[in-house]
Structure 1
Amino acid sequence: MRGLLIAGLACALVAPAAMARSIPTSNQRPAPGNEEPQTPIALAGYNDHVNYELQCAGCHLGDGTGAKVSDVPKMKDFVGNFLKVEGGREFLIRVPGMSMSALNDAQLASLINWMMSPDGMAGASVPEHFKPFTTEEVAAIRHKAMLNLPGTRTELIAKMRDQGIEINDGMGD
């Protein structure tokens, strides 16, 4: 028992010194390939598809199908329906994954517009007279926090049902 106590005490005394050695010193250099600081996404100039992969696909998956098990609705062939109900346009900008993304306002507007394009996520769900999002519109709306995402989404889905829009968002409600 005494030996275990002494060994534990020795470990406790050595641990701070071992941890201190993991702190970089002035003579350490970056690993190969990491010599230059990473370019922030807002300055990188990626196209919309790459921005989708970096900012959205982690939850909504690369093809926009979402995952009910994670409570993530599908966007594919459905997300454009939000533009058909009052409050839906603002919702798309204010969804936390969009509003708090690393994209600047112009990139976010462009990404949403790409999602609504024929080769984007929305498919035929986009309203006939879709008005593209602007940088100014995104800048004016994205910083208004959405305090109740599930409740807001539920209200918009109810408005869609009232208009006879089929709800095929993969959530089964």
Structure 2
Amino acid sequence: ALERLQAVQQLEDIAACYGVGHDAIFFDLGGDQAESLAILDDCFSPDVQSQFVFFGGEPVPLDGLPALVSFVEGFAIDTGYHSARNTPGNVRVELIDEDNAVVTTAGATPHFSLASAEAPFIDLITARYTHIAHRDEDGRWRTTSFEIEVDEVARVDASFALGQ
């Protein structure tokens, strides 16, 4: 029973790890992304197979952790985002067996433009995240397959009273 509880806690931590790693991408937009890759390496396999699905459309497949980070970074740059706070919630863990699991989460993630933008904004992106996780030989759980389904994007005009 204790081993099961430990596994569930480690699997729940995958969701938080993705959130922290996602946010770290924004610390070095256009840079080498070493920090975000190091964070995500704790919870994703290097060869993770990922896909993004926007509004029920065709999946955008990504091969490997660097491709996942690069996609998020490129999306941020192309959309004019300066920072984001990915705070996963509603975490559900389903243990398939002692070495395999599914972690499902949901999130409402604010993405911020630069305060100096011509028309500053905040996009609130809601999404569902599905991690297929496997316990590696080192005993750590890592995501081997990852899907993000983006449901909604709500844009609001913003003013940043204290700057950025």
With structure 2 as the length reference, what TM-score do the two structures score? 0.25
Larger radius of gyration: 1
With structure 1 as the length reference, what TM-score do the two structures score? 0.24
Query: Greater strand percent: which structure?
Result: 2
Query: Greater helix percent: which structure?
Result: 1
